[in-house]
Amino acid sequence: SPSSPSSSSKHFKNQKKNPNLPASEAEPAEQDDVPSHLSASEGVGGTAAPSCCDPGRMYTYHNWDVMGDSFLDQLKQRLEEVGRPTVLLGMHLCGALSLRAIEAFAALPMVSALALAPCCLPGRSEPEEVAPRSLFESKQSTAQYQAWCQHLEQRLSQAVPTANVTSNYVPEVLSPKNFVLCGVRRAA
């Protein structure tokens, strides 16, 4: 999610032209000079920022339990701190994480869009509301994945009925798990 400068993250004017410039030689940026800022969050465990978060880039990393009870409150607080338009992006979401992303989009009206790319299905032992038995009617993994994607699209449409929901299989993604689902809130 984009953010404005804070005491914990410094941004500098001339580092835009020369990103390798040491902070000691950089000029502080004005508010309008600060580009978008990424806030990343990953499941449970681990304390290091993921490899995508290059120390030379502007980001904040949060090690939150995405499935935990406090996640939505933590995310809401962060979005209020940021105060900028936000898109929720979920890539390679395994199991119920796709449903959690949909839940977050529905619960947080300050998130203007959701883009998710689901991965594997939830387990058969999950409750019916998480893993409908219809997902496992076929023994073919491709058919199960397609049923999961249809289920997620229906859940998103039901969770945020005013959102414009689109979906597509993207053949350029070099994986059989190449479905992308998007939801964009319509302007009020």
pLDDT tens string 44-99: 455 555 555 555 556 677 888 899 999 999 999 999 988 888 999 999 999 999 99
Give the span between the Cα atoms of 134 and 57, in whole angstroms.
Answer: 44
Return the H-helix or E-strand segment holding 72: helix 71-82
Give the span between the Cα atoms of 90 and 178, in whole angstroms.
Answer: 13
In this prediction, residue 43 carries a pLDDT of: 52
pTM of the full structure: 0.72
Give the span between the Cα atoms of 107 and 97, in whole angstroms.
Answer: 15
